[in-house]
Structures are given as structure tokens and as C-alpha cells.
Amino acid sequence: MKVVIVGGVAGGATAAARIRRLDETAQIVVFERSGYISYANCGLPYYIGGVITDPEELTLQTPESFWQRFRVDMRVHHEVTAIHPELKTVTVRNLDSEEEFDEYFDKLLLSPGAKPTQPPVPGVECGRLFSLRTVEDTFRIREFVTRERPRSAILAGGGFIGLELAENLRDLGLEVTIVQRPLHLLSQLDPEMAAFLHAEARAKGVRLMLGHSVEGFAPADGGVQVLLKGEQPLQADMVVLAIGVTPDTALARTAGLELGIKGSIVVNDRMETSLPDIYAVGDAVQVRNAVSGQPAHIALAGPANKQGRIAADNICGGDSRFLGSQGSCVLKFFGLTAAATGLTEIAAQKAGIPCDKVYLAPANHAGYYPGGRTMTMKVLFERDTYQLLGAQIVGYGGVDKRIDVLAAAIHAHLTGPELRDLDLAYAPPYSSAKDPVNMAGFMMENLADGRLKQFHWDEADCLPRDGSVTLLDTRTAGEYVRGHIDGFINIPLDELREHLAELPQGKPVYVTCQTGLRSYVACRILAQHGYDCYNLSGGYRLYAAVKQHYSPAPTSDPCGRER
């Protein structure tokens, strides 16, 4: 059996190694357009910033090492220019010699990846405008920074690459501006969770220009102008395009393969394309969202590696299945860690899934152990069934641990209240006896059992201020003075029982504190004295973060929403 693989890196290289482990006699040929067949593409920004100092650390395998261990014929600087399914051949161009030849295959695996999205605007050919996809791109940016010593950079886009580059370029001393059309950074987070990234960016001197449309680029005074719709242009010494990725599927399109979202290659759960004996994996393929069940394009290294292994199994006669992707991801951004898994609230709404959520702000480990820091958690669930749908966490420590637990819980189809039963490791430097994940489960259990009713940050300003409801802030007087939601009166929790007579019966009571814990205790007191009480999930801390870092604050028109 002869297997031809188009593209290395995560999916293609993984598949090649797996095929060899399953079939010692298979002839395996990999064609890679760049000069590197297996590299740490997620580490590229950190080489630019000098965190990774040795360029060889970016290379996981070389053609020579792959041949020595796996007897796989890895050919770099070879571009596949056409697929001929009926002949079972591909046309290949040697980019060093310009020689063209045809290569026969029994099985063909496509792993072309995705390319940086190029906006259809003038000026993208400017010499000081860069994109970041390959090792060669990385060296080009690093060499430019070292040679030209730019003082300023504009990043068009605030996704993973944009944020990681912002950190690394800022650490090199550059003035950094992120400009993008969306109103919040990192689309894997909902707007209120991204507010904490906005705060971190601004605290570290990164200028954010959100909600601005880039209309083109132009050279100017030894730098680059970024032309904005209806506004004065920006100027910097360099610009990096980081507005997202597009599946690199021109080859598949001309071969007649079925394409889906964003032009991605449609595959089944065996990673088979619409044509026989042709498989596809990685950032170029359309997958099934494991939570919503809907088609999705999720460009992440973890799913690409799994898909490469699954395709290899099936090429070798097995029957492995890809169950879909949850989109689990994690990002370091200066001192913060942001992570997500499953659906965002925006995605759940688009999928037509009725959902609710809980917010909590626990410490990453036991409060009495030094060094604890607060993390903000949002856990999303289906409204009637409490089936877990997704989670987002932003904090300083322990974020990756909790998001992985929640990713596993979603994969296992747990409901929110069942999180209370997870037996998680505890020692004071690492966690609390009631882990934050358990705490999220307790909150959802209380909701399901009717012991807790809640409202959210985007509903607080919609509450009437005409006396028909009672608005109560249960923080200390000092906290209240430093900032509070307009219209909320202050009765500290520890004094609440002595002031119950001041709260009129028969009116709903909406209660807040700093994070939602003290106000929950207040609601339990009030409920047992006959009050209809609602707790602000996430508390004033979340509300204030959104108000401070958005203008105007994002909203989904929550006023009048049914609870």
C-alpha cells in the first residue's frame, strides 16, 4: 500500500507515524510546501518574543529524523498542485528545482492546514505587513524586529495569534495596538468574560481599538498606515495580520471534493472525504461540534492530532471514529490565563439551545494558603435539563486544571448538578476542599432544587427604580462607597437580620455582593422570611468589569427576559 500525505505539522506528521506503527510494509510519502515537516506552530509567537531562544526548539522532527525512525519519505519544499482522483495520482512541483512530476497513491491524506485570512483590501503586499503561519514567517518577523528595531506594531485581530504576539512584542518594548471589527477580544469567550482580557491588555500598555473596520494598508514615512472606515488612519512601524484563518482548500476544490463551512473539506467521522480513498484532517476540515451536533470549523492542534491518528487507523483497515470537537482551548496573556470548552452563550443561542449560566469567582487554592488569586468562571447549561454546554474561565492560576475537568465532564454528558459529586484532588497549595468545579455544581443544584433564583449582569440596569422592587447590596459599607450599582441600597450581610423590617414584604428583592457568595447567603435568609429573592450571579465584580471595559456595555436585550 502506498500512502501519499499532503502537508505535515500536526495532522499529516501524526498520521504518517501512526501508519508506520500499524503497517511496517506501507510506502509513505509526505509532501510539505514549507521547509519544515513537523514544528511547534503554537510556539511561534514565543520565538519572536525571545521566550524560546533556540530556533531548533521549534522543530519537532526533521526529514532525516523521520526517515531514521519511521522510514517515511518526507519531502520538504514540494507543493502538490493538483489531485487526479480518477487516476489516483497527484501532481507535485519541487519548489527548489521547479521540476514537476506525478505521484501515484493507493490512499491519499490531505493535511494542508489553514492560512491567515487575507482581507480583500488594498495594500496587503506592503513590505512591513506580516502574517504568522509557518516557521519561515516567524523567522521573517524576528529578523525584521532585530534588524529594523521597530518601536510600534499594529495587530489586525485579537484572537490567539494576535494576543500572543501582543504580549511578546510588548515585552520587547514595542508600542502595540490591536484593532479589529468585533467588540471583544478572543471569540472563544463571551463578551463579559473577555472584559478581564481587556483590563489586562490596557494595564500592560496595549491599546485596544475594538469595533473598527480595516479598509486597507499603505506605506508611509518608513512605516505602514492602517486605513480605517470613517476614521483617521493609524500608523506603525509594522503590521501583523491576525484576523483569523481560512482553510487552505484550493487543491481540494479543484479536485471536486465536497466543501463546507468557510470552504473547509467535508469529512465523515472516519475522516473520509466525498471521494473514495481520499482522507482529510486538521485545520482544513469541517467537523461536528461535539456539543451542539452542528457542523463547525475548529482550527486547533489537539483535534488535528486526533484526526491524524484516526485517519491512519482507517487507512490501515481499522474503524476509528472522530466524535467531534468541543473546541477546548487555553491562552496565556501576560499574567492572565483564559480558557474555554464547549459552546459559548452566543453559540448556544445561535444553535437554538435554551440555556442559562452560573458565574462564580473562587480562589485558585485554599484562602489561608499564601498566594491565592481569584478566577472568574462561567458555566453554561441547558435550561430545563441542566446538561452542561460549555465553560469559560479567566484567572491567574489553576485555570487550566478546572477547564480540563469541565471539558471531561461535558464529554461524559454530565449535568451541572453532578459536578458536586466529582472527587477532585485537594491540598492547600492547589485547591480547596470544595473545589471551584464542585462549587459550580452546588450552584446549579441549588437552582435545580429551587433554593436559588438569580439574575445576571446584563439585567441589573433593566430593573425598575420606581420602588416596585427592592435593590439590595450586601457588601460592607467601605466596599459600597468604592462603587455600586445605581439604585441599590446598602445593608451589609452581617447586619441584615437586624434590618429586615426596613425591607417591604410582597416585593421582589434583587441582591448583590462582590462575587455572588454573600448575596446568596442573604437570599437564603430573606427567602426563609418570606421574601422573593434573586441573586446577582457573579456579583458587582463582574458587572463593574463589563461596565469599565466596554462603552457601551454589550447586551443581548435582556430586559423582560423570562427567568
Residue with cell 439585567: 459
Grid-cell match 529524523, residue found: 65
CA distance 285 to 10: 13
Residue type for 40, please?
A
What's the CA gap between 502 and 465, in Å, rounded? 17
**Amino acid found at 487:** G
Could you tell me which residues come within 8 angstroms of residue 182 by beta carbon, excluding any fewer than 6 positions away? 158, 210, 211
**Strand pairing report for 355-360 and 454-455:** unpaired
Nearest to 3 by CA among 72, 76, 81, 96: 72
Of 42, 316, 329, 355, which one is the catalytic site residue? Answer: 42
* CA gap 75, 80 in Å, rounded: 11
As given in the structure block, the three cell numbers for residue 361 are 469567582
Give buried/exposed letters for 214-229 (b at 16+ CB in 10 A, else e). bbbbeeeeebbbbbbe
DSSP string for residues in 248-265: --HHHHHHT--B-GGGPE
Asked if 274 and 191 touch (Cβ cutoff 8 Å), the reply is: no
Cell matching residue 457:
449582569
Q: What are the DSSP calls for 193-257, one per residue?
A: HHHHHHHHHHHTT-EEEET--EEEEEEETTEEEEEETTSPPEEESEEEE-S-EEE--HHHHHHT-
Q: Could you tell me if 441 and 421 are in contact, meaning their C-beta atoms sit under 8 angstroms apart?
A: yes
Q: Where are the beta strands (DSSP E) in 41-158?
A: 59-61, 73-76, 78-84, 89-94, 100-104, 107-110, 114-116, 129-131, 152-156
Q: Is 126 a catalytic residue?
A: no
Q: Cell triple for residue 354?
A: 435554551
For 524-533, b/e burial (b = at least 16 CB within 10 A) is ebbbeeebbb
Residues 6 or more apart in contact with residue 27 via CB below 8 angstroms: 1, 2, 3, 73
Q: How far apart are CA 328 and CA 326, in angstroms?
A: 6
Length of the chain: 563
Which residue do the cell numbers 508600542 mark? 175
Contact 135, 265 (CB under 8 A): no
Buried b / exposed e over 118-136, threshold 16 CB at 10 Å, is ebeeebeebebbbbbbbbe
Q: Which residues are catalytic?
A: 42
